[in-house]
């Protein structure tokens, strides 16, 4: 059985990975980022299942998978207005390259990863 301390570390690691992926998006580095979010969703699902099926509590709150329309949340993580714009640009990039919304892609767990998808701010 997993201890509360181990669960807290697991959630903190998830949050760190989530922040790293958002940081990549905030820099316009979209290359295969959707695939990384799909893997992260699997980790998120494990965290939610552990919480639901055990006595474990959220002493460290897991960041939400979706960040659409979350300016206050993203700002609270330290992202500037320009960086938030690039993060939202990633959502548009996903729609353009995948033909589906970000949330649909991570829910379905399948994505096409085109090479060289670096967004350079104008």
Per-residue pLDDT tens listing for the chain (122 residues):
899 999 999 999 999 999 999 999 999 999 889 889 999 999 999 999 999 999 899 999 999 988 887 899 999 999 999 999 999 999 999 999 888 899 888 888 866 655 544 444 44
Within a domain: residue 18?
Answer: yes
78 assigned to some structural domain: yes
Is 67 among the domain residues? yes
The predicted pLDDT at position 1 comes to 81
C-beta of residue 116 within 8 angstroms of C-beta of residue 45:
no
State the pLDDT at residue 122. Answer: 41
Domain with 47, as residue range(s), is 4-108
In a domain, 54, yes or no: yes
Is residue 86 one of the residues assigned to a domain? yes
| Helices (H), ranges, the chain | 4-26, 33-53, 71-76, 81-98, 102-108
Q: Does the residue 122 lie in any domain?
A: no
Number of domains in the chain: 1
pTM, 2 dp: 0.86
Coil, strand, or helix at residue 29? strand
Residue 119 lies in a domain: no
pLDDT score for 32: 85
């Amino acid at each position: 059985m997993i201890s509360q301390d181990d669960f807290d570390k697991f959630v903190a690691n998830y949050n760190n990975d989530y922040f790293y992926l958002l940081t990549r998006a905030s820099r316009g580095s979209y290359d295969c980022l959707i695939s990384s979010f799909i893997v992260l969703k699997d980790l998120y699902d494990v965290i939610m299942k552990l919480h639901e099926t055990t006595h474990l509590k959220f002493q460290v709150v897991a960041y939400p998978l979706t960040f659409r329309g979350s300016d206050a949340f993203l700002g609270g993580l330290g992202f500037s207005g320009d960086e938030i714009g690039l993060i939202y640009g990633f959502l548009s990039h996903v729609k353009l390259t995948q033909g589906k919304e970000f949330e649909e892609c991570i829910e379905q767990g399948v994505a096409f990863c085109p090479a060289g998808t670096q967004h350079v701010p104008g």
